[in-house]
Amino acid sequence: MRFKEEINKRRTFGIISHPDAGKTTLTEKLLLFGGAINEAGAVKSHKIKRGATSDFMEIERQRGISVSTSVLAFNYNERKINILDTPGHKDFAEDTFRTLTAVDSVIVVIDVAKGVEEQTEKLVEVCRMRQIPVIVFINKLDREGKDAFDLLDELEKKLKFNVCPLSFPIGMGYDFQGIYNIWEKNLMLFNQDNKQRISKTVNITDLEDKSLNEFIGEKPSKKLKEEVNIIKEVYPKFNQCDYLSCKQQPVFFGSALNNFGVKELLDCFISIAPSPLPKESIERIINPNELKFSGFVFKIHANMDPKHRDRLAFIKIVSGIFKRNKPYHHVRINKNFKFSSPNAFFAEKKEIVNESYPGDIVGVHDSGNFKIGDSFTEGENINFKGIPSFSPEHFRFINNQDPMKSKQLAKGIDQLMDEGVAQLFILELNGRKIIGTVGALQFEVIQYRLEHEYGAKCSYENINIHKACWVESTEKISNEFIEFKKLKNKFLAKDKSKNLVFLADSSFSLEMTKQKFKSIKFHYKSEF
């Protein structure tokens, strides 16, 4: 009985948005309301040296952007909340796409001034593909922005959402007075001087209540009544089944920086969001209430603590109870592992846990045995689906700047590639190393982390590569395969797993090679 109660307590969700919409700030404020922290760090303020709690990598603090998914957990109103704060920048989208395999629901953050942006559209498409329920939080209401109804229209047109407003703003920017909470039928008044604390709410069950004029004035009061009437007539009533089946998307308004509208979002979220959901594997669908443990690695992070050079694999628990020091079966390499110090997370702070339940994320120490997508079970061969692997779009040679630090550089490259942030290719011809990434900013992150975490300096050199294609040939000794290897020798490399890769220098060259060597298959990802 306790097992089912523990599952029902869990809410595991991701926060996604375009860069600068306020995603990391919202994460901070959810932690603040959850009592997990006493004071939020200002992400972009240079006056405050401490950065956002969830941005624990030094480069994230310097640039004011998240480049890696943070895992945070806290308890709130008898619920165990697991938040995955994801990078918004498109160059780190691969990490976000992978993280979306480990969440049961999503909060999408929209900037009131910018509306729906390109990266948001892409991320929402992934949510739609995976059937992940979505709640929308329209942020930065204390600034001048688009009209609330225009934003709701934009959500419907650009994201194909069926929106259902559960709160609505009273004014905006300089005229912003507060929010009417449709979900709980109360009024929350905004106090400009009360930025870092929580504003008080006023219970107004009926908008015809005369005291409304006293709180916000006659004109805004009249406008609010009209707008709430429009909402009732135009938008559907909230239906939890429709929300859970992705047919309806609730919308909240607020200002995360000013702690405004965040509690309303959190209170509604814990009552309507799904507890851990079944997960599809190649073999069958795994239900969370199955008694036998199963889980999968969705992220690997080297140097969570640079002082200890530790490498952690993040496991999303899908079913059963994960227990410390119990042996679990690693499906890919067919070997059992015991975890003596599994961690639960609060940004970079970790604590050892004895038991974890479906929906929880645990971090286990990894000495190089684990890969993203690996499954763990109590013996059954299960391979979880939907962990994407992208073909890189940017390629550069990586050179060692300090011959005395060759070992550190090799170790650093090896560990950072295992995180899935980039891919390593070693040319067959001369053994030179090529880094391939989805976004160009990744090169800067790799260079920074190699220097500051491993003490190794590197430089890059441009190389003309159009596409990396993994080579599949059933007959490795056929004349055609031997001729292919001979002709394309300078374009062939091995990836980290020693698979053969053809680095085509142009789309024309790739098409001609495909036509010439018809018995050889070329794949845009390594899992084929």
How far is Cα 62 from Cα 46, in angstroms, rounded to an integer? 9
Scored b (16 or more CB within 10 A) or e, 361-381 reads bbbbbbeeebbbbbbbbbebe
516 CB neighbour count, 10 Å cutoff:
13
Cα distances from 191 to residues 184, 198, 258, 289, 393, in angstroms, run 20, 9, 9, 45, 48
CA distance 120 to 361: 25
pLDDT tens profile 76-120: 888 999 988 776 445 455 667 777 888 999 999 999 999 998 878
Nearest to 437 by CA among 200, 98, 140, 90: 90
Q: What pLDDT score does 52 carry?
A: 52
Predicted pLDDT at 219: 84
Neighbours of 62 (CB within 10 A): 11
Beta strands in 372-523 (DSSP E): 375-377, 394-400, 423-427, 433-437, 458-462, 467-472, 492-495, 500-504, 521-523
Place of tokens 């443990």: 293
- In tens, the pLDDT along 396-441 reads 999 999 989 999 999 888 878 877 778 899 999 899 999 988 778 7
Cα distance between residue 401 and residue 403, in whole Å: 7
Encoding tokens for residue 26?
Answer: 């919202």
Contact residues for 256 (Cβ-Cβ < 8 A; gap 6+): 22, 25, 26, 28, 29, 109, 137, 139, 140, 262
CB 413 within 8 A of CB 433: yes
Do residues 441 and 89 lie in contact, with contact meaning Cβ atoms separated by under 8 Å?
Answer: yes
Report the mean per-residue pLDDT for the chain: 83
What residues in the chain have per-residue pLDDT under 70?
Answer: 1, 35-69, 87-95, 191-206, 302-310, 346-349, 386-391, 476, 526-528
> Residue 504's closest CA among 471, 465, 463?
465
What digits encode the pLDDT tens for the residues 307-341? 555 678 889 999 999 999 999 999 988 999 999 98
The full set of domains in the chain, from first to last, is: 13-75+104-272 (3.40.50.300), 279-377 (3.40.50.300), 394-523 (3.30.70.3280)
Do 396 and 435 contact (CB within 8 A), yes or no?
yes
Residue 486, CA distances (Å) to 31, 267, 342, 428, 492 in order: 59, 64, 49, 11, 10
pLDDT score, position 460: 93
Sign of CA dihedral 513, 517, 518, 524: negative
| pLDDT for the residue numbered 247 | 95
